[in-house]
Structure 1
Amino acid sequence: MATASDTPVLDTLAAMTVDSIERCHMDERTLLLTRVAALVAMDAPAISYLAHINPAIKADFTVEQLQDLLVAIAPVVGTARVMSAAGHIAQAFGVAIVLAEAEAEAIAQAEADSRGAS
């Protein structure tokens, strides 16, 4: 029996992703390109791209590579999907930046609090 969780949907998605990565023999960059291409093809929302930002950063995935991907798949998926994806990717980066800033502020506050308690 599975253990109870406050985030069962996120836990399931994370487990599916880990299982997929463990069973896939693609290098990190190819896997990311494939996943992002699939997201573009299905007109995924920004939140779907958000899940791929940290892995892309860790794999040194560049903006130029993302642009090349969009150019490469545009004839197959069409202009509307590529433009929609560009907007969703921009939204995902905006959310990622806000989350990173909030995390940095929380860390700075915790450090300030610990210095004040010393």
Structure 2
Amino acid sequence: MSLNEDFNDAMRELAQGNGPVLEALARQSEGALQQTGIDPQTALLVRIAALVALDAAPASYLIHLGIADRGGVKAEAIEATLVELAPLVGSARIVSAAGKINQALRELSAP
């Protein structure tokens, strides 16, 4: 297999929400939470807000929603974050984020 094919396979795994790259990113993100001066739940909501503002890919939500779930962040807090962001980022970004969050949640709950 060529380097280009290996890279394409790795990027496909990342886009599908699995593989070693995504796992490394998840470990890195989870470790960074321990180094902030705010509580982990607030830090995760800030990260989710940044993902919305950046119109991030579903795989990015997948990482942070998995950490949020383990950290006890409630769905209502994420929903409230989206409501608070709407006047700043616009309805298109909120609708896009909601769809990507739903896709990530489906992946998290898949067997």
TM value normalised by structure 2? 0.72
Aligned to 2:76: 64
Aligned to 2:8: none
Q: Which runs of 5+ in 2 are unaligned?
A: 1-18
Q: CA deviation at 1:20?
A: 2.9
Name segments (4+ residues, structure 1) moved above 6 Å.
none
Aligned residues: 93
Aligned to 1:26: 38
Within the alignment, does 1:55 sit opposite 2:72 as a pair?
Answer: no
Q: Which runs of 5+ in 1 are unaligned?
A: 1-5, 102-118
What are the within-5 Å matches in structure 2 for residues 1-118 of structure 1? 7=20, 9-10=21-22, 13-14=25-26, 16-18=28-30, 20-98=32-110, 101=111
Q: CA deviation at 1:15?
A: 6.0
Give the aligned CA root-mean-square deviation in angstroms.
Answer: 2.0
Greater CA deviation, 13-22 or 32-41?
A: 13-22
- Bigger Rg, structure 1 or 2: 1
Deviations 1:45-93 (A, max 9, x none): 1100000122211222122111100000100011000000000000001
Q: CA deviation at 1:14?
A: 4.7
Secondary structure, in 3 states, of the residue corresponding to 1:23? coil
Q: C-alpha separation between the residues in 1 aligned to 2:107 and 2:73?
A: 18
Deviations 1:26-56 (A, max 9, x none): 1011011000000000000110000012221
Q: How many percent identity over aligned positions?
A: 40
Change (3 A) 1:36 1:12: same
